[in-house]
Structures are given as C-alpha cells and as structure tokens.
Amino acid sequence: MVLVDKLRSTDCKPTKLMDLEQIKCQSCSISRLCLPVMLADAEIEHLDSIVKRRKPYQKDDVLFRFGEPLQSLYAVRSGCLKTYTLDADGIEQITGFYLPGEIIGLDAIANNTHQSFAKALDTSLVCALPYNKLDILAGQIPGLRSQLLKIMSSEIQDDKALFLLLNKKNAEQRLAAFVINLSRRYANRGLASDRFQLPMTQVDIANYLGMAVETISRLFKKLHKLDLLELKQKEINILNMQQLSHFAGTSCHV
C-alpha cells in the first residue's frame, strides 16, 4: 500500500511510475485482495506471466466499451474507475466504482461481451487479464479457479447488498451506507478508513445512488451538522463511525 500511496501522491517521478507499471504479482501490495490469494509461489509466477500491465490510464480514459468482445478482465492496481451504461437518451448510468484489488468486467463472461463502459476517474494502473488464458490457467490451478469463483460470488453478494440498500433505505441511509462502504474498502486495503479522498464527484454519487445531486449536497450538510462526518472539497473525515453506521440502518440479517 506504500507503493499505492506513492502513486497517488502527485509528486511521484515518471521513473517511479515506470517501476510501478512493472511490478509483478509476487510483489504487488494488493495481491492478497486479488487473484493470487492462496496460490503457491510457482503458481503466482504462472499467473503473473499472463498479466499484461498497461500504461497508466488518465482521468476519463476508457478501458472498454459496452458491446465490445471480452478480451480481458481488469484488476485495478491503483486509482479508481467507474463502470456505466447509457440509457435510451444517452445519459450515463453508473453501475459501479472500482478500487485497487477489485476486478472489472466479470459480467462480460456470460456472453463474452462487455455489458458496460469502464472509465478512469483518476490516474489509474490496471492489470489486464486475458480471459481465455485466465480460463485455461484456472483449469490448471485449483486455487485460482476457487479464487475466481469466490471473487464472483463476492460480487454477487455486494450486488445483493446494494440492491437491499437501494430498495429499502431512504436517501440519508443510502448516502451514509455508501460512505461506510467506501471506508471499509479503504480499510481492507490498509489505508486510512476515517479520512480519505472521495474519488468521485457528488454528481457521480448521486447518479450511482439514484438520487438528485441537490439531495446529496443537503445530506452531506446534514451529516456534518450531526457531527458524523466532515467534507472539505473531496476529503471526507468520518467523525463518528459508530453513529454513522447506526444511521445507515444497521444492516442486520438474522
């Protein structure tokens, strides 16, 4: 995560960036969140050999478009990306935000066709995983097959949770839950969970959560008034995580 932090700071030298582009799975700081989990060294090396490390994508660069044949899944190494479709009027409909260690494009496997657009929100490094090669490798390495299935299952879990959030919670609960979800994901990556940069605009958050931007703005203000969080520019500062979680409507299942 040190490497990731270096990358995210604006003063990193081009040489540093080149180094980062070359980092192998073996030494990647987020490998424990990614496909290599539970693989032996030799297996990781095998996986590493099919990974194509791309030059960094700049803000607004597009990784793939809706309808394109699936060539590769993409593992995020640093930065942040979003996926979206366009509705009948050509309006963007955001379907997901992706942080380091997360895999983009899993929904394309069913018909070998991308079901969305993917765009960088920030300067971002990704690893391209050619799907046909990955599939073959999954046949040879049980741990990889297993991890791939787990990652997909995890995405299904997250989707169901999001579904419940949107379906059952009101605007303020949605926003609170969204912030907490981001916070948890940062925490999993060893980054600060109570103070971080929002990688997306409020317009994007509103779009993703199915709300008006005005509502987002008002609710951030309300959460601030309640001393639950602070938002300065894009920096978010969670002041009372427990209360905020409670506010989000403690999603208990039992």
- For every residue of the chain, DSSP letters joined together read -HHHHHHHSTT--HHHHHHHHH--GGG-TTGGGSTTTT--HHHHHHHHHH-EEPPPBPTT-EEE-TT-B--EEEEEEES-EEEEEE-TT--EEEEEEE-TT-EE-GGGTTTTB--SEEEESSSBEEEEEEHHHHHHHHHH-HHHHHHHHHHHHHHHHHHHHHHHHHHH--HHHHHHHHHHHHHHHHHHTTS-SSEEE--S-HHHHHHHHT--HHHHHHHHHHHHHTTSEEEETTEEEES-HHHHHHHTT-----
132 binds its own copies (CB under 8 A): no
Among 5, 18, 52, 135, binds its own copies (CB under 8 A): 135
Q: Which is nearer to DNA, 161 or 211 (CB)?
A: 211
Q: Which is nearer to DNA, 172 or 194 (CB)?
A: 172
Q: Which is nearer to its own copies, 150 or 234 (CB)?
A: 150
CB of 212 vs DNA, minimal distance in Å? 4
Contacts with DNA by CB under 7 A: the residue count is 20
Q: Which is nearer to its own copies, 62 or 163 (CB)?
A: 163
Tell which positions 80-119 bind DNA, by CB under 7 A: none
Alpha helices by DSSP H, listed for 102-141, are 131-140
CB of 113 vs its own copies, minimal distance in Å? 10
Among 28, 127, 141, 216, binds DNA (CB under 7 A): 216
233 binds DNA (CB under 7 A): yes
CB of 192 vs its own copies, minimal distance in Å? 26
Contact residues: its own copies, CB under 8 A:
66-67, 85-88, 93, 95-96, 106-110, 115-116, 135, 138-139, 142, 145-146, 148-157, 159-160, 162-164, 166-168, 208-210, 249-254
Contact residues: DNA, CB under 7 A:
170-172, 201-203, 210-218, 220-221, 231, 233-234
